[in-house]
Structure 1
Amino acid sequence: MVSESQKRIVGEELAAVLPARIQPWWKTPYLLRLNFYLFSCMLFSATIGFDNSLMNGLQALDTWNKFMDHPTGAYLGAINACQAGGACIANPVMSYVSNEYGRKVSVWIGLFFLSLGTALNASAINPAMFIVSRVLVGSASGFFSAVALLVTEMAYPTHRGKMTAGFNTLVYAGSLISAWSTFGCRNLDSNWSWRIPSLLQILIPTIAFTGFALTPESPRFLISKGRNEEARLSLIKHHGGGDESSPLVAFEMAEIEQAILLEQQANESSGYMDMLKTAGNRHRLFISISMGVFSQWNGVGIVSYYLAAVLKTVGITSITQQTLINGFLQLWNLIMAVLASSLVDRIGRRPLLLASSFGMLVCITIITGLSGSFAITAHAATGLAVVPLLFIYFGFYDIAFTPLAVSYPAEIWQYSLRSRGVAVTYVSIYAAQFFNLFVNPIALESIAWKYYIVYIVIMICICVVAWCCYPETRGYSLEEIARVFDKGDTNLLPHGVILDAVKDKQMEMNSDKVDHVDHAEEKV
């Protein structure tokens, strides 16, 4: 019996071939194993969050400021922005490597860059070494973007939405470790007060290493390279629980093979220019770019990297207070983002995006008013009122732009352009971040709270775009989402054709089994 919740998550066709399961996934060995593997991969996103929070915390430490020659303005912006620069360069390379050699190969390359960057970061003897290490860590983040592809393409159908949304959510696991390690080391009167937190960048990837190493390669990548039997065996093991006659596996194989075959027939080679060829692809491209830019240009970029400066504008100057607020803010972010990622299939992508956008607009407007009032009156209570507003503001950010900034673009692209679509999103994120990191410290230093007015205007634009241009993708398989964007121009077969073919094949197999049993009984 197909449940309404399954239809709502993956659509009627795919729901029709899902096995009737009484016990939850954590009591189903093959699903528990697969989710452990994918969760291990998702932990690599923590390196991105670790860096964001690390730079926030280090700016509050006197020892780091002294080591870096007390950076301010453009120099501080350059130190922060070089990580985004490394990621911008690495993401297009990730796209090529992922398509040609596999999603996992990209992650292995990222691990190499992260190990090198962490070692250089923690052992830096001058500011130049520290800056180079951040470029290497940024490059690692770029290659780790392939995890979003791997999770999207390997997750069990009813788990895909939550798992893919969870990838970017775990950014805050890294932020949490970074924030509290910086808080714990704040009173060390040596360079180890910032070297220890820097060294911990490698902690979560080390924990995730075993699970990642055991993770299977994307079946869609395998099929694109003609390795169909490997893909089928992988799906039988991880989606079918070892059942070679699983209707789910038969449906997935038929759907993936058909989609990739038609894509390959339509385009002998796929490149970035193909993103502009059809109305559907142009719509996808707009979403990929705008989601990346909006995730950074909604005001979060100020707080993410310059929390210490923001708190100073409202009179909170104590190192202990600044690092403590940063630590609790990252814990709050993690809780809210995990909660939101669990709701993407229940509520849908579009409602979360709209609630997030309008909620942030209200919050940033109030924060601007409070900050302006404090600048004029220097009233302590007014300044302190900004702190809970920052938490509420981040709560609205976390319900959509944390879980969906990567997962939404990853699921809307067809296989041949998916890695490029994700690369475009990440380049947009890091390009917007690069701009923010350079401009924000200069603007905050020059006009302080008045700079927030710029983000009020941007938030109004974000609300309009989210309302007009971001469609719902819940209720479709990964291949079927093309119907949302390509309408009648889609390469997919008419609705129901693949399901009917799978059902016919299952009936033939069952008939063969009956004939075999009857024949055996006749011999007896």
Structure 2
Amino acid sequence: MAKDIGTSPAIDSGINSLLDPRRKWYNNRRIIALNGWIVLLLITSSTNGYDGSMMNGLQSLTQWENYFHHPHSGGLGLLNAIQNIGGLAAYPFAPYLSDGIGRRPTVFIGAVIMTIATALQGAAQSTGMFLGARFLIGFGLTFAANAAPLLVSEISYPRYRAQLTATYNSLWYSGAIVAAWTTYGTFKINNTWAWRIPSVLQGLPSILQILLIWFVPESPRWLISKGKNEKALDVLAYYHGDGNRDDPLVQYEYNEIKTSIEYDRTVAANVGWKSLFATPGNRRRMRIIIAIAFFSQWSGNGLASYYLNKILNDINIKDATTQLLINGILAIWNLFCALGASAMVERLGRRFMFLFSGIGMLIFFTSQTISFAQFQMHGQPAAAHSVIAFIFLFYACYDVAFTPLIVAYTVEILPYPLRAKGFNVFNFTISVALIFNQYVNPIALMAISWKYYIVYCCWLVVECIFLYFYVVETKNLTLEETAAIFDGEEATNEILGNGLNAADRNEKHNEDA
């Protein structure tokens, strides 16, 4: 079993002792401003969430069905999967942009591509044009989604970093809510604007990012990696130390980042793609990252996320109004659960949340399967209502870990030189898993109905076993401290020692003065 190392007093005492208890998010104008810019980055996830919910809603619109000639089975799978196929095409380039030109420019490039693509999607005159636009949405989203969460984790005030990074993926459901209720509001329009309006609105977060992204501070870690140490110190001082470059917290962060980057460059030699698997620590990281990426899409959640209307049809709930209402309410429920879990990540810890999520999903997905089978065999209305109830309970458990933590946990266990590339592998894995789900799920549901659920019941058992043995606790650690624990005691001592020594020297200097 993985050792619980995230609560070590020796490690925790580093940065926590330097946090000014008077400096809160609600009473410090610079932290308030910083968090405002972080919200602009967090809405990148909303674009992705909007897409899944929009496609769910469009399948309930006869206007969309008629215009695109009633897509089904593999054709419907392609319409859903094409965005992730577009994402795959961008993965070879995204980390190089994030590491090469910076986090902010990469978000800007992704937002521009997505804005153009959503305009094309809303103006689509054929299935091919709709597919091409969705391909471009996925292509642009990969750039923004690679850089935005990295920047969130690298500029956040330390006290709130875990919660804010966890909120990134939780806001997937904010986009889902807008899409679900937009399609509910337009489904009575008796022309193509019933689906064109939701298609165009998908670009709203990207437009906001185009207008405001250059006001967001650049990552201090990226600046230091490019030799722009003074600019990095200015960013840390302005947002984390009320403008004081000699603030003990600012000096600790600055020296810790410098030491960590230098260590990874010289001692660990983490440079290219091969380095992701070159050392035992990195192989341990990638094993966890790839696994949770697959689990986030292969836990049965893909059925309701993209084919809720098919499930509702199978339990004899065929009214479009009812289907759209359930889709909208489910999105609100998911956002509520995910944000609640995001706020608790430093209290409950990553390991507990992953295990709770895995076991809960297994219980409620199995219950959902039994209810589905009962309805199919006996046609009992109560069984149909139970299916809906267990879908909501399943997602409550899914949202405890697999919505807020998968991005936050991936980012925080990767050292800076590998962060963009490792996070790219994470996103690539999710896209591959999604493409498989989006193609296979409608075909399997049509072929064997509820029996397909048994596959996911068995797989959830495998997930729980993996999570129990391999997930490492990382709560209350900085990014550098978290990365160091995977590489052994030498790396931990060197990185933490330099950061603490710098802070101690600065504190002594202030006392002498």
Secondary structure of 2:91's counterpart equals helix
Q: 1: CA distance between counterparts of 2:89 and 2:460?
A: 28
Pair 270,140 (structure 1): closer, same or farther in 2 beyond 3 Å? same
Shift in Å, 1:506? 2.6
For residue 263 of structure 1, what is the aligned residue in structure 2? 264
Alignment of 1:425-436 (within 5 A): 425-436=426-437
Match of 1:106 in 2: 106
2:451 matched to which residue of 1? 450
- Give the structure 2 partner of residue 87 of structure 1: 87
> Which residue is 1:148 aligned to?
149
1:7–1:17 Cα change, 3 Å: farther
- The answer to whether the 8 A contact 1:10-1:157 is kept is no
Question: 1:121·1:133 contact (CA, 8 Å) conserved in 2?
Answer: yes
Matching of residues 13-412 of structure 1 within 5 Å: 13-21=14-22, 24-145=24-145, 146-266=147-267, 270-412=271-413
State the 1:208 CA deviation. 5.0
Q: Distance in 2 between matches of 1:176 and 1:252?
A: 38
Is residue 10–residue 477 contact of structure 1 (8 Å, CA) maintained in 2?
Answer: no
Say how many residue pairs are matched: 507
| Contact map agreement 2:237 2:243 (CA 8 A) in 1 | yes
Give the secondary structure class of the aligned counterpart of 1:327.
Answer: helix
Find the aligned partners of 2:309 and 2:181 in 1 and give their Cα distance.
15
Deviation per residue, 1:473-522 (Å, 9 max, x gap): 112111011343122353750754531332123312442x3xxxxxxxxx
Instruction: State whether residues 108 and 213 of structure 2, in contact with CA within 8 Å, keep that contact through their aligned partners in structure 1.
Output: no
* TM-score (norm. length: structure 1): 0.94
Q: Secondary structure at the match of 2:55?
A: helix
Tell me the alpha carbon deviations over residues 127-173 of structure 1, each in whole angstroms, 9 at most, x when there is no partner. Answer: 00000111111112211221110001110111110000001111111
CA contact (8 A) 1:9 1:158 kept: no
Contact 2:50 2:202 in 1 (8 A): yes
Which protein shows a greater Rg? 1
Deviations 1:170-214 (A, max 9, x none): 111100000000001111111111000111102233345555331
Matched with 2:4 is: none
CA distance in 2, matches of 1:403, 1:10: 24
What is the deviation of 1:421? 1.1
Counterpart-to-counterpart distance in 2, 1:388 and 1:269? 48
- CA shift digits 1:404-426 (9 cap, x unpaired): 11111111000000011111111
Mapped to 1, the partners of 2:93 and 2:214 lie a distance apart of: 22
Q: 1:212 and 1:322, CA in 2 relative to 1: closer, same or farther beyond 3 A?
A: same
Asked if 2 retains the 8 angstrom alpha-carbon contact of 1:374 and 1:383, the reply is yes
The answer to whether the Cα contact below 8 Å between 2:111 and 2:207 also exists between their aligned partners in 1 is no
**Structure 1 alignment gaps of length 5 or more:** 1-5, 514-524
> SS in structure 1 opposite 2:344?
coil
Is residue 7–residue 15 contact of structure 1 (8 Å, CA) maintained in 2?
no
Alpha-carbon distance between aligned partners in 2 of 1:268 and 1:287, rounded to the nearest angstrom: 21
User: Are the equivalent residues in 2 in contact too, given 1:150–1:218 (CA < 8 A)?
Assistant: yes
Measured on the aligned residues, the alpha-carbon RMSD in Å equals: 1.8
1:268 is displaced (CA, Å) by 6.0
TM superposition shift of 1:269? 6.5
* AA at the equivalent of 2:410: P
Identity %: 38
Give the superposition deviation at 1:243: 1.4
Name the TM-score, length of structure 2 as normaliser. 0.96
1:516 equivalent in structure 2: none
Q: Residue 262 of structure 1 contacts residue 491 of structure 1 at CA under 8 Å; is this kept in 2?
A: no
Query: 1-side partners of 2:24 and 2:224: how far apart?
Result: 30
CA drift at 1:105: 1.4
Q: Note the C-alpha offset of 1:301.
A: 0.6
Distance 1:378 1:479 in 2: 56
Q: Kindly provide the CA deviation profile for residues 438-466 of structure 1, in whole angstroms up to 9, marking residues without a partner as x.
A: 00010001001110001001100110111
Of 206-215 and 272-281, the range deviating more from structure 2: 206-215
CA contact (8 A) 2:284 2:486 kept: yes
CA distance in 1 between partners of 2:259 and 2:315 (Å):
59
The whole-number CA distance in structure 2 between the counterparts of 1:213 and 1:8 is 39
Which residue of the partner structure matches residue 3 of structure 1? none
> CA shift at 1:380, angstroms?
1.6
User: Does residue 479 of structure 1 match 2:480?
Assistant: yes
Instruction: Give the Cα separation in 2 of the matches to 1:189 and 1:82.
Output: 27
Q: CA deviation at 1:19?
A: 1.9
Query: Residue 7 and residue 280 in structure 1: after superposition, are their counterparts in 2 closer, same or farther (change >3 A)?
Result: closer
Q: CA deviation at 1:267?
A: 5.9
Whether contact under 8 Å (2:42, 2:148) holds in the other structure is yes
The residue type equivalent to 2:481 in the other structure is E
Whether the 8 Å contact between 1:7 and 1:475 is mirrored in structure 2 is no
- Are the equivalent residues in 2 in contact too, given 1:149–1:410 (CA < 8 A)? yes
Does the CA contact (< 8 Å) of 1:172 and 1:333 recur in 2?
yes
Q: Distance in 1 between matches of 2:79 and 2:234?
A: 47
Query: Aligned to 2:403, what secondary structure does the other structure show?
Result: coil
Q: Deviations over 1:39-64 (max 9, x none)?
A: 11111110000001010000111111
Distance 2:35 2:211 in 1: 13
CA distance in 2, matches of 1:357, 1:144: 29
Matched residues in 2 for 1:498 and 1:407: separation?
23
